[in-house]
Structure 1
């Protein structure tokens, strides 16, 4: 692994003409990464696995490993249909309008004999809470009863 990183670093620095620093981060749970889930569904579609089964399998895997919600959208000539359509499957909750929600988004394309099928994945991991604001609120709430 280390020599591959060095080889990549030398190739990129030769391409750019400047020294390059590469930081590689391991994905501990690939089932909780939206891009990897989308690529997995796309690969299954390319191997002619039924799209509903592929979506359902990915959703259950993500929910089992701790996602609070997941939505998968598959669109194109599904099952070789003459008219393209879009189908989606959702489990849990995926709040797309909530700013503090940690929603991971990923896309992939499956090249089938009938054409390209697009896969979109929204994965809700939980809410990002501002710890400083929470501590300030706690301090204020503890002080208010004493002043009465």
Structure 2
């Protein structure tokens, strides 16, 4: 019984692995056909009617084509090559492409391929400034490869606030891409913390609360101004007593008085 169960488990595992391989092949084919830098993500959902493929892009017009020519070609290829029953492609538009890590990584890779790897610092800093201008809380770009020397090394460009570990790190949007240059392949890693990310240690103060605090501060300042100024009290100065005390009159002893009286009697 154990051997039969083990064989069934291995068969199911192989089926699952092959199924995931086919999904990965579909995603890579769609990204390759529609072009680098246009597609952010491809998600596949299975429904009773057929396969629902959602393509997230910042350029929906170029992906759809004239009268949906490109989508029709894609659906026919997916049916024949990948043996999908009834694939249905939907387009999801990305309104702010600078906050999407995959689109930014692909753009950096394309610019490195066009302009060359010698201008990698200019490209990275320019993209970083644009991401921060798009109101991102933080961003990081890591380029690894032969930049600019023959030895491979990694360069890091960062700005703003970015979580690396813990639960808040799950909110960070991360992506990778590759650029094939004259010197070799350059890896691109991009991490972006979007402005609407919920961070546990972040404190948000409402405008109503701020206005109340301002009113209280102004009231306190007015009260302080209205208070009459207190005059300084006159200090009582003590007269300095002379260090030398007056000489007190010396009192004569009774023995001295007797001797003086005896002297007067003898005279």
Length-normalised TM-score, structure 1? 0.78
Do the aligned partners of residues 6 and 70 (structure 1) sit closer, same or farther apart at CA in structure 2, a change above 3 Å counting?
Answer: same
SS at match of 2:123: helix
Q: Which has the higher contact order (CA 8 A, sep 6+)?
A: 1
Q: Does 1:45 align with 2:122?
A: no
What residue in structure 2 maps to residue 141 of structure 1? none
In structure 2, the partner of 1:93 is 161
User: Aligned ranges for residues 54-93 of structure 1 at < 5 Å?
Assistant: 54-79=123-148, 81-93=149-161
Q: Corresponding residue for 1:12?
A: 78
Alignment counterpart, residue 33 of structure 1, candidates 100, 107, 111: 100
Structure-2 residue corresponding to 1:108: 177
- Structure 2, unaligned runs of 5 or more: 1-63, 201-267
Cα distance in 2 for residues equivalent to 1:37 and 1:45: 12
Deviation at 1:129, TM superposition (A): 7.0
Secondary structure of the 1:21 match is strand
What is the rounded CA distance, in whole Å, between the counterparts of 1:17 and 1:44 in structure 2?
35
User: After TM superposition, which residue ranges in structure 1, 4 or more long, deviate above 2 angstroms?
Assistant: 1-4, 126-130
Instruction: Report the CA distance between 1:84 and its aligned residue.
Output: 1.1
Q: Which has the larger share of strand? A: 1
- Structure 1: runs of 5+ lacking an equivalent: 131-148
- In 1: Cα distance, 2:74 partner to 2:139 partner: 34
Aligned length: 129
Partner Cα distance (1:116, 1:129) in 2: 36
**Deviation, structure 1 residue 72:** 0.2
Normalized against structure 2, the TM-score is what? Answer: 0.45
Please say if 1:21 is aligned against 2:88: yes
Q: Tell me, what secondary structure is at the counterpart of 2:144?
A: strand
Q: 1:112 deviation in Å?
A: 1.0
Which position in structure 2 is the counterpart of 1:127?
A: 197
Q: Distance in 2 between matches of 1:5 and 1:94?
A: 38
2:150–2:183 contact (8 Å) kept in structure 1 = no
User: How many Å separate the matches in 1 of 2:126 and 2:144?
Assistant: 17
C-alpha displacement of 1:25: 0.7
1:21 & 1:55 partners in 2: Cα distance? Answer: 37
SS in 1 for 2:140: strand
- Measure the CA separation in 1 of the matches of 2:144 and 2:160: 21
